[in-house]
Amino acid sequence: MSWALAVAIGWAVLVPPVGYLIGRALRRADARGTTTAPVDAAPAPPVSRPPAETPASSRASLG
């Protein structure tokens, strides 16, 4: 048996169970709500923006 065939068979045998176990763990964590951010996490700070320029003030600056 060539090494490529051995690798292909090993891949076909190992990948589905590992994928199933990872998927099951993710589904269980999602059902418990542990995949979301904790409730006591600090909110993002507000974004400070410069004041919007109004048409009247832009006309006054043009002179």
Domain ranges of the chain: 1-27
pLDDT at residue 62 tops 60: no
Question: What's the pTM?
Answer: 0.41
Ordered DSSP codes for 1-63: --HHHHHHHHHHHHHHHHHHHHHHHHHHHHHHTTTSPPTTPPPPPPPP-PPPPPHHHHHHHH-
Tens of pLDDT, residue by residue over 17-59, are 888 888 888 888 877 776 555 566 666 777 777 766 666 655 5
